[in-house]
Amino acid sequence: MSLTIDTGTDELLCHIEDRVATITLNRPEKRNALSDNLTPALRQVLLDLDTRQDVGCLVITGAGSAFCAGGDIGGMGAGNADPDAPKPTIQERTRALQHKHDTLTPRLFEHSKPTIAALPGVAAGAGFCIALACDIRIAAASAFVTTAYRNIGFSGDYGGSWLLNQLVGPAKTKELFYTARRVQSDEALALGIFNQVVPDEDFLTETMNLAKHIASGPPIALGYMKENINAATGCDLRASLNMEADRLMRCASTKDHKEAVAAFMAKRTPVFTGR
């Protein structure tokens, strides 16, 4: 059974099937560049899906042959609609962008559900950051990524400098920011930016196979796994050990743990309910 979610705009699509929520950036004529309609809708749908019990995994992808080309360059530099209106100060513009950052990148990075970025093609700039904020990235063989910021005289946004650094280290991150060169799928896989690269013709099937497998897992345990791993980037070993002990004991009291043990003893597939 498939359920369509109303996002408030045709520029962002969402449907749920087999406990997988697929979010599709839907501006193929603009290579799914972000917009004043698409981006707020994405923020809201991430929030709405966070507590849904019928969702075990999120897939974010793009319509057509691209994932997301980042900001819509054609709309940059347009200035205020009213030329007589007072221009915001740099401090006001900074606070506005900080709010946009805070309500998207952490919301995705810390989402309660496992998240997959599925790249049918290019992810650039802020689009690349959205992919990096997901837990796993699966890409078609023809896909590539680029930081892209230098090409428009920008330094970077939406957490790319931190997120990419976690995967490839500061030296490679600086190289990719300074040059904005294209990183093709085979190199992205070797660097650890992509988790999996599949032939273009198998892209949709392999993406859904991965998402459904994750979505069939124990929701509480998967959520704690994500918390443990995210926290490990900013704490020492002992703090990680303490957090793991707490979360594992919480898992031990769940019905899902008892179901997993019973299924193991009976040599059957467990059925998890998130309780």
What is residue 77's predicted lDDT score, i.e. its pLDDT? Answer: 54
Q: Are residues 261 and 180 in the same domain?
A: no
Q: Which residues pair with 73 in a beta bridge?
A: none
Q: Are residues 108 and 231 in the same domain?
A: no
Distance CA 57, CA 43 (A): 17
Per-residue pLDDT tens over the stretch 35-57: 999 999 999 999 999 999 999 99
Contact 127, 159 (CB under 8 A): no
CATH number at residue 190: 3.90.226.10
Q: Are residues 208 and 243 in the same domain?
A: no
What is residue 237's predicted lDDT score, i.e. its pLDDT? Answer: 97
Q: Are residues 178 and 242 in the same domain?
A: no
What is residue 81's predicted lDDT score, i.e. its pLDDT? Answer: 56
Q: Which residues pair with 115 in a beta bridge?
A: 58
What is residue 245's predicted lDDT score, i.e. its pLDDT? Answer: 98
For residue 224, give its domain range.
219-266
**DSSP 8-state code for residue 120:** S
Q: Are residues 138 and 227 in the same domain?
A: no
What is residue 101's predicted lDDT score, i.e. its pLDDT? Answer: 96
Q: Are residues 223 and 156 in the same domain?
A: no
Distance CA 78, CA 82 (A): 11
What is residue 1's predicted lDDT score, i.e. its pLDDT? Answer: 77
What is residue 104's predicted lDDT score, i.e. its pLDDT? Answer: 97
What is residue 21's predicted lDDT score, i.e. its pLDDT? Answer: 98
Q: Are residues 201 and 112 in the same domain?
A: yes
Q: Long-range contacts: 174-177, Cβ < 8 Å, 24+?
A: 176/146, 176/147, 177/147, 177/149, 177/150
Residues of the chain scoring pLDDT < 70: 75-82
Residue 124 belongs to a domain = yes
Q: Are residues 113 and 246 in the same domain?
A: no
H/E stretch holding 229? helix 219-232
CA angle 68, 140, 166 (to 5 degrees): 65
What is residue 72's predicted lDDT score, i.e. its pLDDT? Answer: 83
Q: What is the pTM of this model?
A: 0.94
What is residue 73's predicted lDDT score, i.e. its pLDDT? Answer: 77
